[in-house]
Chain A
Amino acid sequence: MAGKKQFSTFTVDRLLFGVEVEKVQEVIRYQEMTRVPLAPPVVKGLINLRGQIVTAVDLRRRLGLHERAATDLPMNVVIRHEDGAVSLLVDEIGDVLEVEEESFELPPGTLAGEARELIRGVYKLKDTLLIALDTDKMLNLVTTAARGA
């Protein structure tokens, strides 16, 4: 098993992203959201996950990508986090992929902006690239953003 890792994958703005499978609590379809006024813009709203209130973070906004068309309903990738669950809003859910540790590379220096902080690296798959996200950093940054607001 050494050198292999399982990733839960999803697409955002036609890019393939992945989060370590053990960090994902569950994947659910679109949920009605309640917006939170005065919250940082990346916080899209609150969803009711079986009675638990979960903050939904829009990955497109978080990563500085194009806004999702209003008619496209995002899916929820619910991440286990230190103080409860947080949902990442993504475009489409992909498969769980097993990747070789050898195919990993750090993000290129040309990758600029805030996104660089959030991307741990890239796995070179046969016909595409899988971008590995650093969930801790991503959600912690949300925290600092919220404080700043």
Chain B
Amino acid sequence: MGNMDDIIREFLVESNENLDQLDRDLVTLEKDPTAREVLASIFRTIHTIKGTTGFLGFSRLESVAHVGENLLSSLRDGRLLLNAQITSALLALVDAVRQMLVNIETTGQEGEGNYTSLIDTLTRVQEGEKKASAPAATAPPSPPAVLPPAPEEMSREPVNADPALPLGEILVQAGRVNSEEVNEALKLQHDGDDRHLGEILVEKGAAKPAAVQDALQVQAEARAPALSDSNIRVDVSLLDKLMNLVGELVLARNQILQFSSTQQDTSFLNTSQRLNLITTELQEGVMKTRMQPIGNIWSKFPRVVRDLATACEKQVNIEMQGKETELDKTIIESIKDPLTHLVRNAVDHGVEMPEKRQASGKSPEGHLLLRAFHEGGQVNIEISDDGAGIDLERVKQKALEKGLIASDQAARLSDRELLNLLFLPGFSTADKVTNVSGRGVGMDVVKTNIEKIGGTVDIQNRVGHGTTVKIKIPLTLAIIPALVVTSGGDRYAIPQVSLLELVRMEGEQARKGIEMIHGAPVYRLRGNLLPLVNLNHELRVEGSGNGSDQGAAVNIVVLQADDRHFGLVVDEINDTEEIVVKPLGKQLKGIPTFAGATIMGDGQVALILDVLGLAQLANVVSEVRDRGVGEKTAETESRHDDGESLLLLRGPDDGRMAMPLSLVARLEEFARTAVEKAEGRYVVQYRGQILPLIHLSSALTERRQEPRNSGPSEPGTEDEKIQVVVYTDQGRSVGLVVDRILDIAHQAVKIQKHSGRQGTLGSMVVQGRVTELLDVKGIITTADPNFFSEAVAA
């Protein structure tokens, strides 16, 4: 009996996978009804299910699958062309089969569902074909179970041949083609005809299309098991366990490496070096086993979109880019529902009715684009439609009606703040409640779920041209990059996702920099007041001697909690590190300021700060979700005054230069000795990758070449640091070596004097001084003409 259970379980797993494939295939097929391979694959799947269910004694399931198979065989033989009606019937079949599989899984029985109407529909669709395309058929329409094989099928003999042979030989062995014809066709191929052998034979009339198809199927069936031999199914809990063990190993490795730095023994050092490499590879390998392409959850969307569009009488096509983008399994699971919701929203609310689209000069068919790509250690997912966009006036009206905002507030809201209203609980703009969306549960749940896994959601609205929802999520939850700080003598880790920037003030600046508003400390960050929170104070621990008010340096970690920015004052800022997140015991779950703990390289435990919890504790954000409305958030400012943040640098001839901060991925400092030369370019090793360097002084060739120490020609000769601005585009990075980074300024970019010189866009006045604006993309393109084109291809 146990044996039988195993068989059934395997059948269930396999069939469920096959059914998902079926959904996809059917939607593809509807677009291109002549795609024979797709049709053949569908037929095979249903055929397999029918065969296995018959063997296992699930008669109801078998009979449903049987009718489907008949219909499919008519399609496959070209006696019937797929149309929307047939597709719907076949999708209904898939649903019925899936339902019975669920029953089998839960109860062991196929269930009492009545599928006669489905069988009738399938039969009717097939018979419709008979009346129309084969009026001469003498056989009266008969119930599906006893349907005689179609005449053409009778005339076909099974292809009996060794499946491992080439196509031509299979056909010859089966007696469908004679060997001269095959040889001739092969010769044509040899002479440069790039059609497939089967195509040549069919076009010459040497073989019937059906014969070639059968032969191909024989081949395909022979190949399929080979694929399954190289794959095994593994329990996810086993992978989780492995992942935990690897986490331990990484920590043990870190400790050994730290110890080895104090040792002289070469064989010990070599061994620990090897341990280091192996551990890193093992970690990557195990991480990979947990990674799944996002296509796994996207694959359901064509069907979702099709069904929904049909129900709304809209026309929508869906395009997916970056299906192969990989994400940790736990993350994949938790974004499934939010993504489905967003896709449904786009079809239901985003895309307009065909007539309306035509009236506004668009094609009647709406376009939905799903895009996924890696960027800066995060995964970006975008869902865009080319519909009408979000009507902000209506959003405002709805929010007023529902009492989410007050009327005087409404008038002051910027576009961006209006869009944020969509994320409030109980908000829905759908005028009528459809069974699809518009129930008022939605965007807030999407946002909460995405934020739960450390992600962010952002809406971009182009009125009349569509909406784009951008989601950013971390690659994995188990190992995260974090900033380590010290407060009260203990180390704390701050997840990098919440980190915006670091500010350090010394001496005079430190004394004057912090101002008080009725006891609440604030800092002026580029003209905006940043509320300050003292970590020692919030955690009720003593500072480490040189307290911030003693006039020593003040370290501010600028953090983002739920759209709100605040500065966390800490005793010391240590370093960024990859940390393994560990849960806290039940005894400590009630403390809101900690998200977990991790083990540092020296074996000590460090707590991970929960930035949102900390912000709530310090009243930076209130616990109730009534914030963000009508109040100024840092993000809105940067988008709505027409200013831009600029990074100020000292140029090669001592002049001041600026570049938009938005183009800067990171600022780094490398030892001059770390610069290496590869393929004629200067590079450094950076985060496990090779970062090509461009010296600003060599890029701006027209300048007076009087580089003090920064001669690109002799790296490694002096022991000092170089300042590098890292620019990242689509996963490729390049480092701009600059003389010195001066400051960050925030102001409108208005070029006052255009420049004809290479590498700059012109000059303008920043902070009262004439500053040249760098043409960053131009400089990179000059140094590496392929950078942008390769980045796109990558």
**Please, which residue of chain B has its CB at the minimum distance from the CB of A148?**
B590
**Please, which residue of chain B has its CB at the minimum distance from the CB of A146?**
B590
Is residue B528 contacting chain A, with contact meaning CB distance below 8 A?
no
B-chain residues with CB within 8 Å of residue A8 when the two chains form the complex: none
The answer to whether B589 touches A146, judged by C-beta atoms less than 8 angstroms apart, is yes
Contact with A along B668-685 (1 / 0, CB 8 A): 000000000000000000
From B488, B584, B590, name the one whose CB has the most chain A CB atoms within 10 angstroms.
B590
Contact with A along B367-392 (1 / 0, CB 8 A): 00000000000000000000000000
The answer to whether A55 touches B490, judged by C-beta atoms less than 8 angstroms apart, is no
Partner of B540, one of A37, A46, A48, A55: A37
A-chain residues with CB within 8 Å of residue B587 when the two chains form the complex: 39-40, 43, 55, 57, 86, 139, 142-143, 146
**Please, which residue of chain B has its CB at the minimum distance from the CB of A83?**
B586
The answer to whether A55 touches B585, judged by C-beta atoms less than 8 angstroms apart, is yes
Separation in Å of the A144 CB from the closest CB of chain B?
9
Partner of B539, one of A37, A57, A84, A149: A37
Is residue B161 contacting chain A, with contact meaning CB distance below 8 A?
no
Is residue A66 contacting chain B, with contact meaning CB distance below 8 A?
no
A-chain residues with CB within 8 Å of residue B605 when the two chains form the complex: 33-34, 45-48, 53
The answer to whether B607 touches A48, judged by C-beta atoms less than 8 angstroms apart, is no
Separation in Å of the A87 CB from the closest CB of chain B?
10
Q: Which of B570-578, B592-600, B695-703, B752-760 contacts A (4 or more CB under 8 A)?
A: B592-600
Partner of B588, one of A36, A50, A52: A36
Partner of A38, one of B540, B586, B603: B540
The answer to whether B247 touches A39, judged by C-beta atoms less than 8 angstroms apart, is no
The answer to whether B585 touches A86, judged by C-beta atoms less than 8 angstroms apart, is yes
A-chain residues with CB within 8 Å of residue B251 when the two chains form the complex: 51
Is residue B237 contacting chain A, with contact meaning CB distance below 8 A?
no
**Please, which residue of chain B has its CB at the minimum distance from the CB of A57?**
B587
Once A48-B604, A51-B247 are accepted as A-B contacts, the answer to whether A43 and B541 lie under 8 Å apart by CB is no
B-chain residues with CB within 8 Å of residue A47 when the two chains form the complex: 605
A-chain residues with CB within 8 Å of residue B590 when the two chains form the complex: 143, 146-147, 149
Is residue A54 contacting chain B, with contact meaning CB distance below 8 A?
yes
Q: Give A48 to B539 CA distance when docked, in angstroms.
A: 22
Contact with B along A16-60 (1 / 0, CB 8 A): 000000000000000011111111100101111011111101000
The answer to whether A38 touches B591, judged by C-beta atoms less than 8 angstroms apart, is yes
A-chain residues with CB within 8 Å of residue B589 when the two chains form the complex: 146
**Please, which residue of chain B has its CB at the minimum distance from the CB of A86?**
B585
Is residue B252 contacting chain A, with contact meaning CB distance below 8 A?
yes
The answer to whether A39 touches B540, judged by C-beta atoms less than 8 angstroms apart, is no
Secondary structure call for the B interface: mixed
B-chain residues with CB within 8 Å of residue A149 when the two chains form the complex: 590-591
The answer to whether A53 touches B599, judged by C-beta atoms less than 8 angstroms apart, is yes
Separation in Å of the A63 CB from the closest CB of chain B?
16
Separation in Å of the B657 CB from the closest CB of chain A?
45
Partner of A35, one of B248, B490, B603: B490
Separation in Å of the A42 CB from the closest CB of chain B?
9
Q: Give A147 to B588 CA distance when docked, in angstroms.
A: 8
The answer to whether A50 touches B584, judged by C-beta atoms less than 8 angstroms apart, is no
The answer to whether A38 touches B539, judged by C-beta atoms less than 8 angstroms apart, is yes
Partner of B607, one of A32, A34, A40, A52: A34
B-chain residues with CB within 8 Å of residue A51 when the two chains form the complex: 247-248, 251-252, 599
A-chain residues with CB within 8 Å of residue B594 when the two chains form the complex: 36
A-chain residues with CB within 8 Å of residue B488 when the two chains form the complex: 37
Partner of B584, one of A53, A81, A143, A147: A53
Contact with B along A49-83 (1 / 0, CB 8 A): 01111110100000000000000000000000101
The answer to whether B588 touches A146, judged by C-beta atoms less than 8 angstroms apart, is yes
The answer to whether B607 touches A36, judged by C-beta atoms less than 8 angstroms apart, is yes
Is residue B606 contacting chain A, with contact meaning CB distance below 8 A?
yes
**Please, which residue of chain B has its CB at the minimum distance from the CB of A84?**
B585
The answer to whether B599 touches A37, judged by C-beta atoms less than 8 angstroms apart, is no
The answer to whether A34 touches B588, judged by C-beta atoms less than 8 angstroms apart, is no
Separation in Å of the B550 CB from the closest CB of chain A?
22
B-chain residues with CB within 8 Å of residue A55 when the two chains form the complex: 584-585, 587-588
Is residue B582 contacting chain A, with contact meaning CB distance below 8 A?
yes
Q: Give A32 to B605 CA distance when docked, in angstroms.
A: 9
The answer to whether A36 touches B591, judged by C-beta atoms less than 8 angstroms apart, is yes
Contact with A along B229-253 (1 / 0, CB 8 A): 0000000000000000001100110
Q: Give A88 to B582 CA distance when docked, in angstroms.
A: 20
Q: Give A50 to B252 CA distance when docked, in angstroms.
A: 9
The answer to whether B588 touches A43, judged by C-beta atoms less than 8 angstroms apart, is yes
B-chain residues with CB within 8 Å of residue A52 when the two chains form the complex: 582
From A47, A50, A146, name the one whose CB has the most chain B CB atoms within 10 angstroms.
A146
From B248, B252, B588, B607, name the one whose CB has the most chain A CB atoms within 10 angstroms.
B588
From A35, A47, A81, name the one whose CB has the most chain B CB atoms within 10 angstroms.
A35
**Please, which residue of chain B has its CB at the minimum distance from the CB of A82?**
B586
Separation in Å of the A58 CB from the closest CB of chain B?
12
B-chain residues with CB within 8 Å of residue A54 when the two chains form the complex: 585
Q: Give A84 to B597 CA distance when docked, in angstroms.
A: 14
Q: Give A40 to B539 CA distance when docked, in angstroms.
A: 13
**Please, which residue of chain B has its CB at the minimum distance from the CB of A52?**
B582
Contact with A along B602-643 (1 / 0, CB 8 A): 011111000000000000000000000000000000000000
**Please, which residue of chain A has its CB at the minimum distance from the CB of B488?**
A37
B-chain residues with CB within 8 Å of residue A36 when the two chains form the complex: 588, 591, 594, 607
Q: Give A146 to B594 CA distance when docked, in angstroms.
A: 13
Q: Give A86 to B585 CA distance when docked, in angstroms.
A: 8
From B594, B604, B605, name the one whose CB has the most chain A CB atoms within 10 angstroms.
B605
B-chain residues with CB within 8 Å of residue A40 when the two chains form the complex: 587
Separation in Å of the B696 CB from the closest CB of chain A?
44
B-chain residues with CB within 8 Å of residue A43 when the two chains form the complex: 587-588
From A39, A53, A55, A146, name the one whose CB has the most chain B CB atoms within 10 angstroms.
A53
Contact with B along A115-149 (1 / 0, CB 8 A): 00000000000000000000000010011001101
Q: Give A32 to B540 CA distance when docked, in angstroms.
A: 21
Q: Give A143 to B591 CA distance when docked, in angstroms.
A: 11
* 26 A–B contacts, CB within 8 A, in A order: A33-B605, A34-B597, A34-B604, A35-B541, A36-B588, A36-B591, A36-B594, A36-B607, A37-B490, A38-B591, A39-B588, A45-B605, A46-B597, A46-B607, A47-B605, A48-B603, A50-B248, A53-B585, A53-B605, A55-B585, A83-B586, A84-B586, A142-B587, A146-B588, A146-B590, A146-B591
Residues of A in contact with B (beta carbons under 8 Å apart): 32-40, 43, 45-48, 50-55, 57, 81, 83-84, 86, 139, 142-143, 146-147, 149
Residues of B in contact with A (beta carbons under 8 Å apart): 247-248, 251-252, 488, 490, 539-541, 582-591, 593-594, 597, 599, 603-607
Nearest first, the 9 closest Cβ-Cβ pairs linking A and B are: A37-B539, A51-B248, A55-B585, A34-B605, A46-B605, A146-B590, A147-B590, A142-B587, A53-B582
